[in-house]
Structure formats: C-alpha cells, structure tokens
Structure 1
Amino acid sequence: MTIIPGVERLETQDFKANWSWRSNAYAWWVVAVLALALTLSLMDRMIIALMITPIQRDLGLSDTQISLVHGFAFTILYVFAGFPLGRIADKRNRKILAALSVCAWSAMTALCGAANNFVHLFLVRMGVGVGEAGLSPAAVSMISDYFPKEERARPLAFLTIGTTAGAGIALMIGGSIVQMIGNAGNVALPFIGEVHAWQAVFIFLGVGGLAFAALFLTVREPPRSDRVAIDTIPSVGEVAQLIGNRKSFFVPQFLGPALAVLVLIGFHSWMPTMLLRRFDWTMVEAGYVYGALIAIGGITGIIIAGSLGVVLNRKGWNKPELTVALWSTVGAIPFLVTAPMMSSGMVAILVAFPGVAFLTVPAALAPAILQGCTPNEMRGQVFAVHLFVLSLFGYAAGPLAVAFITDSVLRDPQSLHISLSAVAALALPLSTISIFLARRAA
C-alpha cells in the first residue's frame, strides 16, 4: 500500500517520542467512550426503523416518505457538514468537537419527539444529521494519535463496533420501549404533556444522550503524533489534489464500502417491517431477534476483521486489510440475496446472520486503510470524504432504494422481501468490483 512520502518515517519517530504520556489502558478507555458515543448515535439514527408502522399510522406517511425521513433527511446535511467539521478535527480540539456533537444530535433527537407532521420530522432529522457529522472525523483522528500505525486496525475496527452495536441495540431496546409504552396508549410526560409512544422514545433517547456527554470530561486530547512540518492546515484544494493524484485507489475505496453499507442499511431499515408485514411478528419479536442479529453478527465480523488485519499485517501479507474486505464482501452475497426470500421469518434471520457478519467488514476496515494512506493533517478531511460517499450511498440511498422498488416498481407493500433481495443482488457485486479495483491500485 502506498503511503505519502515521508509520512511513515515522521509517524514512527514522533509517536515514539510522545509515547511516554500514553497509557495503553487509558487509550482503550478513550476508544470505549468513543465507541459508546457511536452506539448512541446509531440508536438515535436507527430507532426509527422499528417505529415505521406507528409513525406511518400517526402521521399518514407512505413507505417512500418514511424512508426520506429515515435516511435522506438525516443524510442531506450530514454529508455536507462533515467537510467543515473534518477540517476542525484536523486543526482544533477533537475532544471538544466530539462532546459538542453528542449534545447537538441528542437535543435534535429529543425534538423529534415533538414532531406532528412530515415536514417537522424531516427538518429535525436533518438537525440530527448535522450533530452526528462531527463525531466520526474527531474519533478516528484521535485514535490514530493514541495507537501506532501497525496497531490501529484493531481499535479502529472496535470503534466501528459502536456503529453496528448501536443499530442492534436500538432495535432490541427500542422494541421493548415502544411495545411497553404502546400498550398503555399515549404517554403523559412531565413539562411536555401527552405524546405518542414513538415520540416518547425519541425524547428519552435525546435526554439520555445529553447525560452521556458528561463522559467526555474523562477524555484527554492527544498530541498529534505524526504531523508533517508545516504550520497551516491543508486547504480543500490540497486534499482534492491528494485524492486526484491517487484516484485509482481513493475512488473505488470510497465506493466499495459505501455500496456494502447501502445494502446493510437497507436491511436494517426494512427487515423488521418485513417481518411484521410478511410473518406477523410483533414489534418486540422483530426488535429482539433482528437486533441481536445485527449486534452479534456485526460485532463478530468486526472483531475478526480487525484482529485478522493486524495479524496479517505483522506476518507481512500484501495489502491485508483490503484482502480481508474483498473476500468478506464476496462471502456476503449468497446469504443476503436469499435471506429475505425464505418462507420462515426465523430461517430468514439465520440465513442473514453470516451475511451481516461478512458485510460489516469492508466498512470496519475502511478507516485503517484510509488512515494508512493519508498524512495526519489531512486525515479528518479525507475521512469526511469517505463519510460523504458512505452516507450518500448508504444512509440516504439504502432505505430509499428498498422503498422505491416496493412503492414504484412492485407497487405492493407485501413485496418488501423481494425489494430487499433485489437491492442486495444489484449492489453487492458492484461493491466487490470496487474493492477489487482499490486493492489492485493500492
């Protein structure tokens, strides 16, 4: 894998010089806090997937409208806010940026609980996206300064566990909360009044996120261990030049994981509803079972990917992270194409399990791959580009692609399983080709 000339040498020297202040246990504590923050962000982002039916009922939304609220509204500002926030992560205090991001998206999540129409919910979901855009660039950049290059794959993959665990936990906990509150009808909250059950869930999550932000008082801003000897932050043009000079690597490396995430988010957004519509599962059943699939399957894939990347790197394998990402994407195809077509909900879950585990790997390894090819002072901005593409294809297009096929092509709400299978069959081969091209150019 090609590294920017001089960066690897400076990184090794500077990291060793600054090692005296670091504690390995404390570094992993910071990783844990950041992973928990990502878990919380995914809970706020994905909880709507389990509340599609009650929100559609109370606000009168179609599948396409709810997918716009779920994915597109969140992503539209998330992807653009990532660029200036990525520059801030490259230049300013990353700990403060991460803490403020948690506070911002938590406040907007609570405001989702006040929404009473499509436009209101769409706008506050946009606000959630702006808040969450600052966390990932800050987190990835901080971890890169807590660990040397040869050890980054594991903590960066562990950080991605927050993404996977958050989606699963959102479904598991959210299903119980919505079911419990839903059985009692509307809920009367102090200082707020009577709200729908799904509105109460948003409010609870938002208030909990504001309390969680206090954990960042235990996090210290690390010194930048491998900054090259310049006094100014690189301009957007310089970052664009870096990407343009190696477009044969960066372009497919951005696209491959993004197409994989498109399928994952499409499944995470609509699989619970498919279980309700096709197999008459309850919200609690769909939440616990599919949530456990996401959490256990995804975390298993991430841990194996991160550890395997480190082991193969130490053994001197050529392009180990990209090799693991490529074969994992290939392995996911048969499982996720066939899982929605199973005649039993539980069989569909069991078939999807290895597919979810495989497909978490490309996105889990992408930060380590990109960080190893990017100088420190550009990492936040390059990662922001990665998040832009990942979000545009994954979080915006994933739910919408499934809903579009259901509403506009098949025109049958009961054909959701066919839509899920079709999206996997179309996107995963393209993801595989992209990762193959990135590996060849690296």
Structure 2
Amino acid sequence: MISEPKVTWRTHYALGVLAIIYIFNYIDRLVVSILIEPIKLEFGVSDTMIGLLSGVAFALFYTVFGLPVGRLSDRIGRKPVIVIACIAWSGMTMLCGVATSFAMLLLFRIGVAVGEAGGSAPSVAMVSQLYPARLRSRALSVFLMGPAIGAVVGLGFGGWVAELYGWRWAFIIIGAPGVLLGGILALTVKEPKALDDVEDSESETHEPFFKTILILLNTPSYGLIVAAGSIAAIAGYAIGTWNPSFLIRSHDLSLQEAGFLMGVGGGLVSAVGTLCCGAMTDRMTASNSGWQLGTALLGTALSIPFGLLFFLWPDGTAFFLGNMPVPTAFLFYLGFAFFGIWWAVPCFGAMSCLIPAKRLAQATALFFMGTTLIGVGLGPLIVGVLSDYFRVTIGDEALRYALSSCIALLLLPCLCLAIAIPRYRREVDDKATEAPFKPATA
C-alpha cells in the first residue's frame, strides 16, 4: 500500500526553499539573454555564435550530466545533490563575469550547465514526494514559477545592472546568492522519505541503468509527454533567449527597457499563468484524470495565436510607462506569457503519478534531457542561424521572422498531448484501482 505524505508547515517551508533555489537556477541560466548585445559588441561574435553560447553548449553538457546525476539522487537522496549543484552553478555564473575571451565565457557557461544538471530533476522529484497527488500540481506550480520569476530578476535586474555597471557585474551579482541558498537548504530542510510500496525490494531500488531506461520508455504515455515537452521547449527557449534583442532591434527599446518589459511584465504574467494552471489542473483532474494533460494541451494551443501576433505586429507604441514606450505588440506577448508555460506543470504532475518514487528523479532527468538538448540546444541556435540567413534579404527585421517561424512548432506538442491523454488516463486509472492510497499516520 502507498501512504500519502503528511503536509505540515515544514512541507511548505521545504517547498519554499526549493522554489527559491529554482528561481536562481533560471536567473543564472537566463541572464545571458539580456546580455547578448554587449557581449556581441565586446567579443565581436555573430548571432550564430551567441546561439552556440546560450543554446547548444549549455544543452549538451546539461544533458550529458543530467541523467547520471538524477540516478545518483534516486540512490543517495535528492537534498545533497541539490545542495552541491546549487553552489556549483552559482560559482560558475560569477566566473562568467571575469571571462577575458569568448572561449573562456563559453567554458564557464558549460560549468553552469553541469551544475544546473544536478538541480532541476532532483528538485521536482523531492517536491513530488513532499505532497500527495491531490495537491501535487499546485505544489509543482509554485516550484515551477522559477522560470517566470527568474525572468523578472534575470532580465529585469540583470538589464539594469548591465546598463549601469556593465555586463560583467550582472553575472557576478546575480550568481552570488546561490552559494548562500545551498547552505540554507543543507542546514534547514529535511528530505522526505520515499513513498514506494513496502514490497519494493532493495534489488529493484538499485536496478541496472538500462533496465530503468527501458521501463520508462515502455510506459506508453511517458514517451509522448517527453516528446511534447521537448518540442515545446524549442519555441520557449528560443523566444526567451532572443526576445530582448527582438525588442531592441525591431521596437527601438534600450537594453534596460527590454529587460524590464520581458522580465517584470512577461515574467510576472508567466508566474500568474503557472499558478492558474496548477490550480486548474488539480481541480479538473479531480473529476477526470485526463485533464492532467488536457490543461497542457489547452494552454499550448491558446498560446500560438498570441505568439504570432507578438512577432508579426508592426512597430507602434500602445502607451508610455513614465518615459518608457510600451510597444503594442508587447500586449500580445502577455497573452503568450500566460498560456505558453502551461505545458510544464501538467507534464511534471503526470510523471509523478505515472512513475514510482525510486525512478522519479531519473524519469524527470530524462524529461529535462529532452527539453534541454532539443529545446535549449536547438531553439536559440535555430533562431540565430535563421536570423543570419534572413538578414541577407530582409535586413534588420530578420530576427522578427526567425522568431515567428518557431511558433508553428507548437502545433507538434499539441498533437503529442492529444494522443497521450487517453493513454495516460487508462494507465493512471488502472494504477489507482490496483493500489489505492491509505492515510498516513502521525
């Protein structure tokens, strides 16, 4: 039998610490996006090389280390892996600020990727263990506000620091808090016990690596969930990386103005969208388990027209915030920011219902491998290559059409989710019938 975890103030505290760490995970990852233009100016590199820095190089090393670290966390515990990873990626972010060449900057960004490979998957697995299934999507939505709030600080604050003190200080100042957060997690948070069935044997807990992979990939709806997230991440990371440059080039905003709008405006709306998605998913799933992925399909489909309107709307000002012009196109981006993140929370929640705790970090790591290798790896690079290609015929508006080309890709995750929903519903409903929950004892 499976016991539901008991939810106390310590549960919420642990979630809060993990959520803050994940915010800084994304701050350190995203800050390079607002620094693209000054980095290009100092080192004299092309958009394709920037795509390599922010995309492929990061993604390859994140992917190579992600699954082994996820497997390690399933064996020795999630908390120690997260602590070491947080301190490591934060230190590497600070070192980016002292890079004296593009090659050195690339090397330090690879270090950030290796560190962050040990943060995301173990954290999702730990949050999933902290809360029962009926509250899990809401808990994950709080945790997964990391990308949205990370955009607020990484783009908004990072752009402000870069404008006043230069891009190097932006890396140093933003990287420093993570070292402290790693210590706070180590000293004040207790890791939850595994919730696997008591009949699970020690040999199953330490099953061979390839056996684990085959079991995960043979779970019918799991492969479709990974595919949906990976393809959605191409558009998500491409847009997140290049949006500030798009506003600077196509709408004549300054570095600080672009960072403020994308970070504070878009980031806060994404955070609200994430929370709404989590609450709606838990509410709808209570009556029909298929809504666990149905909300992901709904949000992703609604984001497509908003994204196209944002990139294709002509230059023009809707209103001013003080002396800062707000482009009319940016109003459509707010709709995209609200719905464009809806694929994440339901997918993570679905995996926590499908996969037993002893494999959950590895399953999550495999999902992150897809979203990172394909999304982070290809998204920024594809846009960089298309921008350089279109520049020959389109000129300064090349980035606009390179970005709008990525929006059409969101039709593919919609298709994957539509196919996955009935399969997921059968798997989860059968599992609930065979292994009902029993209340946890005090």
State the TM-score, normalized to the length of structure 2: 0.89
Contact 1:89-1:141 within 8 A present in 2 as well? no
Unaligned runs of 5+ in 2: 317-325, 425-442
Q: Give 1:351-362 correspondences, 5 Å limit.
A: 351-362=332-343
**Paired residues of 1:264 and 1:356 also in contact (CA < 8 A):** no
Q: Whole-Å Cα distance in 2 between the matches of residues 168 and 370 of structure 1?
A: 28
Q: Which moved more, 1:226-235 or 1:136-145?
A: 226-235
Q: Which aligned pairs between 1:278-427 and structure 2 lie closer than 5 A?
A: 278-314=250-286, 316-343=287-314, 344=316, 346-411=327-392, 412-425=395-408, 427=409
Q: Could you say what secondary structure the match of 1:152 adopts?
A: helix
Given residue 140 of structure 2, which amino acid in structure 1 is its aligned partner? L
The answer for the alignment partner of 2:410 in structure 1 is 428
Residue 428 of structure 2: aligned partner: none
Task: Look up the match of 1:105.
Answer: 89
**TM value normalised by structure 1:** 0.89
- Residues 143-154 of structure 1: pairs in structure 2 closer than 5 A: 143-154=127-138
C-alpha distance in structure 1 between counterparts of 2:192 and 2:363, whole Å: 20
Contact 2:89 2:111 in 1 (8 A): yes
**Equivalent residue runs for 1:116-131 within 5 Å:** 116-131=100-115
Corresponding residue for 1:158?
Answer: 142
Cα RMSD after superposing both structures: 1.6
Residue 409 (structure 1) shift: 4.3
Query: Is 1:175 the counterpart of 2:175 in the alignment?
Result: no
Q: CA deviation at 1:270?
A: 0.9
Deviation sequence 1:194-227 (CA, Å, 0-9, x none): xxx2112112222222122222121111111225
1:212 equivalent in alignment to 2:181: yes
> Which position in structure 1 is the counterpart of 2:236?
264
Q: Quick one: which amino acid aligns to residue 304 of structure 1?
A: C
Instruction: String of CA shifts for 1:389-408, please: whole Å, max 9, x gaps.
Output: 01112211111111111113
Query: Is the CA contact (8 Å cut-off) linking 1:293 and 1:349 kept in structure 2?
Result: no
- What is the CA distance between 1:84 and its match in structure 2? 0.9
1:321-356 CA-partner distances (Å, limit 9, x unpaired): 111111111101111012111123621111011112
Opposite residue 201 of structure 2, the aligned amino acid is: I
Match of 1:201 among 161, 167, 170: 170
Aligned partner letter, 1:96: P
Q: Which residue of 2 aligns with 1:80?
A: 64
Distance apart, 1:313 and its partner CA: 2.2
Match of 2:434 in 1: none
Deviations 1:117-151 (A, max 9, x none): 22211111111001011112221221122111221
Alignment partner, residue 243 of structure 1: 216
Taking the aligned partners of 2:115 and 2:308, their CA distance within structure 1 comes to 34
Q: 1:413 to 1:41 in 2, by over 3 A?
A: farther
The one-letter code matched in structure 1 to 2:176 is V
**Conserved? CA contact 1:94–1:138, under 8 Å:** yes
Take 1:418 and 1:238, find their aligned partners in 2: how far apart are those partners? 44
**Contact 2:390 2:398 (8 Å CA) reproduced:** no
CA contact (8 A) 2:154 2:174 kept: no
Between stretches 401-410 and 127-136, larger displacement belongs to 401-410
Aligned-residue identity in percent: 27
**1:164 to partner: Cα distance:** 2.0
Query: Which residue in the other structure is 1:234 paired with?
Result: 207
Q: What is the distance in 2 between the residues matched to 1:368 and 1:175?
A: 33
After superposition, residues 62-73 of structure 1 pair within 5 angstroms as 62-73=46-57
Query: Number of aligned pairs?
Result: 408
Distance between the aligned counterparts of 1:54 and 1:400, measured in 2? 18
Residues 1:115 and 2:99 aligned together: yes
> Structure 1: 5+ residue runs without aligned partners?
1-9, 182-196
